[in-house]
Every structure is written in C-alpha cells, then in structure tokens.
Structure 1
Amino acid sequence: MTSNNHLEPRPAHVVREEIGDLEAYLHGIPEGIRSSGAFAAYESRLKGLKDELYWSELGAEAEKRNESLMDLRLHNSRDVATVPPTMLGELLKKWQRFYDALGQSAKGEATPRGFIARDITKQTQLGVLATPPGSFVVRMVLQPEQQAIDPSESLAFRAYGLLQGLAAVGDDSAQLRAEYQKVQARVASHYVDILQLLDGEHLDVDVNLATPGGAVGFEHTGISHSWAASAQSAFTDSIEFEENELALVGLLSGANLRRLTFELDLGQDDAIKGDIFPDLQTRVDGAVIGARYKAIVRERVEFDKMQGRPNISYVLIGLEPD
C-alpha cells in the first residue's frame, strides 16, 4: 500500500501524555478481560497514538537538524522480535544502490550497468543516523547536496517520486511492467532484489520522509514483501532478449590477449566478463590493468526457460580511457 500523506501530528509531549493516560487505564484492566476483545478500540487507539508519536518525533528531528530525513521502518509479519543484522546490512547496501539508480533514472541518464555519474550519487547519497528506539527503524539523512531551496525539485525527491510510482501498483504485474519501462532496467533489478530480501524475512517496510520548514512535510510509501514474486515475474517479462550495445564505465580488471577475454569491474560488487573482438586486440594490448575506461560492449541476452533466468554474454568492441 502506498500513500502520499501530508500528516499533521501533534507535539510529541501532548501525544506522550495521552499515551501514558491510556496505558495506565489499560494496565488497570485484568488481562483476561483485556484480551477478550472488549477493549479492541482502545488498543487500536493506542497503536494509532504510538504511530502519531513516531511521526511527531521524526518531524521534530528534521526541524532540529534542519535536514530532510528518510526512515526505513520495518514490520515483521511473523511477529518475530528480532531482525538479523546481516539482513539489515544487506538491506542498507541494496537500498543505496536502488536509490542511486532511481536518481539516475529521474535525471534521464539511466544506464543498465556500470558506474553511476558522481554528480548523481552526490545527490542520492544517504547517511545513516542513530536508530530511534521502539521499533525497527533505520533513519537516514539526505546529504547537504540535496538540501535544495525547494526540496520537491531536488533529485533525491524526484527519485522518491519514482519509488512511489513503483510501490503504488503493488503486485499488479501489468502495471509493474509499465512502471519498469519508465524507470529502466537497473532500477527494476534493484527493486526486485530488495523485495526478495524482504520476502526472505517476511518483512514489510515503510519509507517515510520528513522535511523541515513544511516545504514537503511528511511523505509515506509502504512496500510489502508479498510483492516479490510479481515483481520478479514482471521484470522477467519486461526484458527484451536481444543484442544490445552498451556504453559502460569501469576498471579494466583483466585481459587475456591469447584467449581474447576481458573482465571489467563496474563497481558496487558488479563486474562483467566476456570476449574481446579480434580487431580490438591491439588497443587492449596497450591498456593498463586497473585503469578506468569507457567500454563499448555488445550484450547478448538469451532467456533459458528451463533455468528460468537469462544467459548473458559480452563482447568488448570499443575501449577508451575515461
């Protein structure tokens, strides 16, 4: 479920006082009576108050820091009280890559692989803050490059708008394919990766923004782990399996002129290997291993229906220093 809410929570001290009064009242009721369901409305009200307190404190911190904040607020559908730290670390790594790709798409410079331009990543870089107590929340600050006079016009917020578009269609495969066409393959691939990671732990995530000064206010987008299968299916269906010519920037990490093979490090734990076009042998012979190059690569994608995944091969057809 996705919403675009401009919330108006009350001051935190007011909400805390009401929470305290309601909790004191409920604690005075015998457990057997309280659990019978007769006080469900009060329990629901308490949950709503705690949500209001969360938003109030998020907004207060954004105002105090005078910076826009993004929260990843996790919910475990299996009612498990812990989240594996390795999963949390993996989520943060994948989220940064996803947000960089969203920024690249928002700027209209989407590429399927390789390094993303530094002028984009400076605007989509997220910085982790101290985790708020009381829930599974990762709080991040949008970096100074993103603190524009009008935040709604910044690349970081335009990237968030693309995220809202993806989440708004939920698990509707047809609409997902349409959204994938808008954001391009790199964003779609990272989105699927995140959903599959969340699905492995039965976690949903709320992506919440707070901006000081009321320029944007509060924004909320919910992502459900249950969308993983549909997102993967839509991604597979949306790929055109054909030959593509890609312009990539990476580090030449290997070249074997006898076998005419190469390896290109694209950053973010991504690399490709393939063949060197014979006419390019002389140019590759003069290349420096470990140096950064602009590479023209012919990509051939064939979908293996038996394996349920694409087989991808590469041929290096152009190489220039970056």
Structure 2
Amino acid sequence: MASLSEIAPASAITAPQAAPQAAAEAPRPKLDDVMLSMDVVDTLRHQESLVTRELDEDQREAELIDRLRTIYHNQGIEVPDRILEEGVKALKESRFLYTPPAPSLGTRLAGLWVHRGRIGTVAAALVGLVGAAWIAHAALVDWPRAREHKLQRIEISETLPKGLEAARADVKAQSRDPAADRQADQLVADGSAALGHGDAATAKQAIADLGRLRDQLRQTYQLLIVTRPGVPSGVFRIPGRNPNARNYYLIVEAIGPDNRPIPMAIKSEEDGSTKTVTQWGVRVGQDVYDAVRRDKMEDGIIHNRKVGDKQRGRLDVDYAMRVQSGAITQWQ
C-alpha cells in the first residue's frame, strides 16, 4: 500500500495539466449580451445617416458609441460599452445581417413551397376556369355538333330511306300509268344513290318530287276552252325568229270536280319560264283554231269547249282535240 509521500509526486505531475485546459475554454457570451449586440446593430442600421457619417471615419468611433449610449439611455436602457463596441464591430463585419442566397433551382423551389398556399389557390382558380370553359365549349359546341352528326347519320341511314320507300308506295297506290311508274322508279334510284354518297339534300328533293308526282296522279279535271267576257278563247302569235309564221293557241283552264279552276305549273315556250296559272294557251294547228273560231262566230257560244280529260291515276290529259307541244302563259 502506497504512502502519502508516494502519492504527492503524482499530484504534482497532474496538477499543471488542468491549468491549460481551463485557459483554453473561453467564457461563452451570455444570451442577453448577444441580444443587446443585435439590438445595437439594428439601431445602427435604422440610423443609416448616422452610420454613414460616423463610420466612414474610424477615429470618431468613440463619439458614435457615446451617441448610441445616449440613445439607449433616453430609452431607459443601460448598455455596457463592450456591448456597444461589439455592436459597431458586428455592423462593420455585417454580422446579424441576412444576405439572401443567389438565385438557383433550389431557391425557386423553396419559394414555391413557401407560397404554396397562394399558388395553390391561383392554380385551383385556373383549373376551375379551364374546367368551366371546357364544359361551356362542350355544352355549346361539341355536344350540339355531336348530336347533329348523330341525327344526320340516322337521317341518311334510316329516315330518308324509309321516306323514299313510303313516297314510292304512295305513287304506286295512285298510278295507272306506266310512265308514272317509270318516273317514280327513277326518282327512287336517284335518291338512293345520293344517300350512298351522304347527299341528304338530293334524297330529300327526290322525296319531294315523288310527292308532286303522287299529287299529279290524284288530280281529276277537264281541260276546257275559256269563254268568259273580256278573255279571248284563242290567239295567234308571231314568233320573233320567224316573222312570216304564226303560232295558234287555244286559251284553256283546268276545271276540277268542284267546278273551280285548278292552278297549274305551265312552262312557256316563248321565254322558257314556268309559272303557276289558272289560264294558259295550248298550241294547236290552224285548222283546229279555225274550227273553234267558226263555232264561236255562229252564235257567240263555243259548243265544244272540251279540249281533253285528266283521269285519276294518269299523268297526262287525254285530248279530245289535236294539240301540239308548246304552251304560253302570257298573250297580251
């Protein structure tokens, strides 16, 4: 067991090692001192004119510190000189001064994250506007257009083919005329060919023409010479291209079962126009014209007024007099 005399030298060896360690550890500034230094720097920064005037001259630093001491004293705050000196030094060294980082992808992403709430609100509003615009465009343009295309497809594939068949059936039910049947078949063929090319307008025209053909077959009337006062029963015309010739016409009207004139679509051979009229001139030979004229001259009455009969189911008039092709709608 070691004696006290033996332990003492060891203590003498270890004791000097503690002094350097204590000297190496400098006392850390207190939090209050740091806060005061920051406040001093802040005061200096807000007193920018004073700083600019005083700190440009190092020899007057003591006067600046004195003024800072007066500022704090007026506020009821006693700040040690070392704190004031530390604050001036910190301002010179730009301590406690925030320096923003240089622009980069990271800073941009950080900025987006910081403002994510506002950006999210704007983005949501934009998405809402885009969505509303899309819905409006779809409702006002796309959907009506799609519906129209659908209706057109149905019209071409179903509606118009059925319309052609129905119109042809109506003509067949009325017709007793082979010429009418041939005309109806041709109209159906033309309409069907048009549908094969997607041409709905031509098919509709074919259906309308079949309807007019049906109506023509249904008509029943007598073609009679007009004998009204002030209206001629016959006229002759001198054609412009042959001044030495004469064309003879009987003025006629179609009288239906109700004893009323029926308007008819008549094409004039003089100008090629087609007009719907109740009286028109039917071209005849001079012999027929003269025979009617003599009949009327005997007693002022035309005893044989019938030019022909139009029977139901037939296209044309069965003429009782010899007529020629051609007609006029004006003679005065």
Give the TM-score range, shorter chain. Answer: under 0.3
TM-score (norm 1): 0.19
Query: Whose RCO is larger (CA < 8 A, sep 6+)?
Result: 1
Q: Rg larger in 1 or in 2? A: 2
Greater strand share, structure number: 1
